[in-house]
Amino acid sequence: MTRTVRHLADGREIIYFDRPGAPERVAEDTRDLPPVAAASEIRLDPLTREWVAMAAHRQTRTYKPPADLCPLCPSKPGKPSEIPESSYDVVVFENRFPSFSENVIGESSTVDGLGLVPIAPGRGRCEVVCFTSDHDGSFAGLTSKQVRAVVDTWADRTEALSALDGVEQVFPFENRGEEIGVTLHHPHGQIYGYPFVTPRTSRMIDVARDYQAEHGRPVMGDVLAAERKSGSRVVVAGEHWTAFVPPAARWPVQVQLVPHRQVPDIPALTEAERDDFADVYLRVLRRCDALFGRPLPYIAAWHQAPAKRDRELGWLHLELFSVLRAKDKLKYLAGSESGMAVWVNDATPEQIAEKLRAAG
């Protein structure tokens, strides 16, 4: 894969990831753009000890533009976009409206100077990943070779962001569908470089540490072995990956894709593991789209080990989930879920898995 680094008119980095034989990337960004003005900060909730990001500048981000003005499509004469080239395979660029930025200025302090609620600059990095130049495409519509190129891109960016000073966790993800909250329909995902380890990952690391101390084995390894032995919740099984509905699924559609070998992050995957992931994931996505006879709105979230600590406790996996519980019905978070984080699922994990297998 060929990797070409260029810069947009406001100085943001854009990186093209191309298969052999692609044209040289030389197009210039002709737009007249003001500098990026990111003013993020993070505050530590004193009751939960969880960091919350404040990014008021994101209120003005691009919102549901018409298809002919999509900022993620290749540039056309008279219609420049975020991608100056007329075509691309996979492309990554710094988000113009980032939740976290390397350029944030400020010092650590506390709210109102009272010493109770710490405040720190929201330093990190947020990138957009465009999976294809086809505006009307989808991840499920990619070929295995195209998915493999995306996996290699995720690996490249995970390594790069993990090496940045202050970045504690790297999170690649895809949001798809208006029901999820997507405001740009072009097939794309994002990568966050957080200045802290996220609450979900912190909890999973604590559980993994306790389980390892008690049993001498990784908890995800035992979960994976149990799911493969039972088979009742397995959706797709490959040589190196198994996709299954978690036994305590929260969402009406939820699938975890887990590698058979413990690795901390995407860069640690072998060539064979990356190839097998492409095959297994496409089979999962196509079942998801067939489930209700319509494109499934979903979030696909990569769980990677923290960038700089507890890496031996992490077990890479991808979690896909959807708010759609029927073709025309959404799951809304009820008071128990939003208020107390106690989930109530309208279907059992076994029922979810059976429907996804049948959809194949």
Q: Are 87 and 145 in contact (CB under 8 A)?
A: no
Closest CA to 89 of 140, 144, 132: 132
Q: Are 304 and 266 in contact (CB under 8 A)?
A: yes
Q: What is the spatial distance between Cα 167 and Cα 63, in angstroms, rounded to a whole number?
A: 28
Q: What Å distances lie between residue 258 and 126, 152, 223, CA to CA? A: 25, 17, 10
Q: What is the spatial distance between Cα 142 and Cα 282, in angstroms, rounded to a whole number?
A: 8
Q: Which strand (E) or helix (H) includes residue 206?
A: helix 199-215
Q: What is the pLDDT of residue 67?
A: 83
Q: What is the spatial distance between Cα 243 and Cα 223, in angstroms, rounded to a whole number?
A: 12
Q: What is the 3-state secondary structure (H, E, C) of 96-158?
A: CCCCCCCCCCCCCEEHHHCCCCEEEECCCEEEEEECCCCCCCCHHHCCHHHHHHHHHHHHHHH
Instruction: Tell me the β-bridge partners of 244.
Output: 234, 256
Owner of token pair 């040589």? 239
Q: Are 83 and 74 in contact (CB under 8 A)?
A: yes
Structural domains in the chain, sorted by start: 2-197 (3.30.428.10), 200-359 (3.30.428.10)
DSSP 242-307: EEE--TT--SSEEEEEEESS--SSGGG--HHHHHHHHHHHHHHHHHHHHHTTSPPPEEEEEE---S
Lowest mean pLDDT among 15-29, 257-271, 308-322: 15-29
Residue 85 has pLDDT above 90, yes or no: yes
Q: What is the pLDDT of residue 225?
A: 98
Burial of residue 139, with CB atoms counted within 10 A of its CB: 0-12 exposed, 13-18 middle, 19 or more buried: buried
Q: What is the spatial distance between Cα 71 and Cα 316, in angstroms, rounded to a whole number?
A: 32
Lowest mean pLDDT among 19-33, 185-199, 275-289, 342-356: 19-33
pLDDT tens for residues 116-138?
999 999 999 999 999 999 999 99
Closest CA to 189 of 171, 207, 166, 214: 171
CB atoms within 10 A of CB 162: 21
Burial of residue 35, with CB atoms counted within 10 A of its CB: 0-12 exposed, 13-18 middle, 19 or more buried: exposed
Residue 237 has pLDDT above 80, yes or no: yes
Q: Are 271 and 333 in contact (CB under 8 A)?
A: no
Residues involved in catalysis = 188
CB neighbours of 341 closer than 8 A, spacing ≥ 6? none
pLDDT tens for residues 28-82?
999 999 988 888 999 999 999 999 999 887 877 777 888 889 999 999 999 999 9
Mean pLDDT of the chain: 96
